[in-house]
Chain A
Amino acid sequence: MPNETITAESFNERPKALAALRAEIAAGRTKAADLAAQYYERIEKLNPRLNVYLSLTKERAFEQAARIDAMAAKGDPLPPLAGIPVGVKDVLVTQGAPSTAGSKILQGYRPPYDCTAVARLEAAGAVLLGKTNCDEFAMGSSNENSAYGPVRNPVDPERVPGGSSGGSAAAVAANLAVATLGTDTGGSIRQPASFCGVVGVLPTYGRVSRYGLIAFASSLDRIGPLAANVHDAATLLSVIAGHDPCDATSSTAPVPDFAAESDKPAAGLRIGVPAEYFAEGLDPEVRAAVEKGIAALEAAGCIIKPIALPHTKYAVPTYYLVATAEASANLARFDGVRYGYRSPNSSTLSGMYSHSRDEGFGAEVKRRIFLGTYALSAGYYDAYYLKAQQVRRLLAEEFLRAFAEVDAIVTPTSPFPAFKLGEKTGDPLAMYLADIYTVTASLAGICGVSVPCGATRTGLPVGMQVLARPMGESTAFRVARAVEAAGI
């Protein structure tokens, strides 16, 4: 695709394959320390324009790189991510290193412990370059809600990278990391992955421990990888997945070698195509690209079946009630007492709470706390929160019934490609509707992958969303690989 027509600037560059880089490091042809230094050089050059990283963890990165280089020099067996430069979304806490969640209320906060997923990446040899920008507390679909300024899309810097894991997606798309971690509550990994032309994974609820994820909506929040290709994303998922005693909802299911699973052919898999995801409101160029992807799956030997998911239209309203209710409870912890911002403008305890929160939270976070508090308040609980939880069950059951007949479901990830900065900021409801194809899987607890699937005429990336049953990531990866291999 002629990306040069969009911008003369050379932001849009994909990293090398993870396995190739690791082999270079293992053979001593590339030093992990040199690789980290090269990435920091590129970050220094591009970050002022793209605003991908909120903070860098150089000391930590070079310590780890030195450890890997020493192991390689001795000929020790290297762990799976040895020397691979990664970034992680700033909602994942890192011991002693800034962790702001994109919010002013956590400016200067240095957490006393590490998020399990980040610790597992580093235990597997990854080099943590820094913390990536995101919408405040992961609330947003464009990264414009970050208290530290928006991220720009490396494909076209006048456009948003998507959100809320916009920094994590843009980091991969601009080769400012080989792979990253994001979080997905209603589409926050998949949608930015599709806007930036990279792979993003929504693991099954419980597949990856949430310990150390600054909570937004606990029954929806998931941590997952973003990478330049399916194989690399699958490699990261195997590293971060698995039970963690620190998260009681994390699954004890065995963790497959997802990269190896993704190598298996997709031929013979039954692929459902739900009409509801191709209805009014879908950009015709996005539709055309995804239809090409479906044709490629058919050519690869998959069996394409039309299916119906009639409750789809209720997903966005259900999501915004469940997510905001849980957010209003989770964000109660930011009160200026134990960590984070405390307003100096108060002489009483209750005044200190409300001043700290008022001065610390941005407009979208306040709006969601208001909506969630209202939905949970006396007299409204049954009408809003309980009703939404009931509809949530209908949505989940509808997916489980569909997965009795098909192995995977494919849809567009987003109804439109990346939009311009400022285009939707004035209308919160219009922004919420951007999540229409992604919130369903979030509510149902199932897993999925967004994989690049062509582009519009002007070169804006299109993503195909591949959904699979709970703990069915292997199937989703196989289908995504087939789409990737087709080179649409």
Chain B
Amino acid sequence: MSERVTVEDVQRVAELAHLELAPEETGPMVRDLNAILDYVAELNELDTSNVLPLAQMSEVTGDGISALRADRVAPSLNRAVVMQQAPETDQAFFKVPKVIER
């Protein structure tokens, strides 16, 4: 198995994804990602230099609807109901730990 992904890579990805990895989780994650990336390397057998990426499924399903709608004001969710689900709130805003150290 090739070493496409290193411990440093996994640590960098953890930062990007806002995830933490305990030291004992790092080794297995490196191993799993290398196994999976080795497997997906099979795709390099295919010459795709003249193939456009497919991102919008409406291209395949032939559904020509416009994704744009009229920009009209419409009722949205009730703030009081939404705020009931917030871990911490003053009922108007979501509260979070401080962002800037003073």
Contacts and interface: CB of A to CB of B under 8 A. Distances in A.
Given A205-B57, A351-B97, A320 B17 contact: no
B59 to A, nearest CB: 8
Given A110-B85, A374-B13, A391-B43, A206 B35 contact: no
Interface residues of B, number: 56
B78 interface: yes
A314 B85 contact: no
A249 interface: yes
A393 B53 contact: yes
B16 A373 contact: yes
Interface in A226-257: 243, 245, 248-249, 251-253
Interface string A310-345: 010110111011000000100010011111111000
A335 B17 CA distance: 11
Contacts of A467: none
Contact of B57 (A111, A249, A336, A341): A249
A390 B44 CA distance: 11
Interface stretch (A69-77, A381-389, A455-463, A477-485): A381-389
A446 B42 CA distance: 24
Nearest to B66: A248
**Is chain A's interface secondary structure helix, strand, loop, or mixed overall?**
helix
A350 B87 CA distance: 16
A300 to B, nearest CB: 29
B36 A371 contact: yes
B46 A394 contact: yes
Interface string B7-47: 00110111011111100000001001101110111111010
A61 B37 CA distance: 47
A338 B97 contact: no
A253 B63 contact: yes
Contacts of B21: 358
Contact of B32 (A113, A400, A428): A428
Interface stretch (A134-142, A270-278, A362-370, A406-414): A362-370
Contact of B18 (A317, A357, A388, A391): A357
Nearest 9 interchain pairs by C-beta = A389-B53, A342-B87, A390-B48, A393-B54, A317-B40, A358-B20, A339-B85, A470-B61, A390-B51
24 contacts: A110-B84, A206-B58, A245-B69, A249-B58, A249-B67, A252-B65, A321-B43, A332-B18, A335-B18, A338-B82, A339-B85, A339-B87, A346-B97, A349-B96, A349-B98, A352-B97, A353-B18, A354-B20, A357-B18, A370-B13, A377-B13, A387-B43, A389-B55, A391-B46
Given A335-B18, A357-B17, A388-B43, 14 more contacts: A205-B61, A206-B61, A311-B46, A314-B43, A317-B43, A328-B17, A337-B96, A338-B85, A348-B97, A348-B101, A349-B98, A349-B99, A361-B19, A392-B53
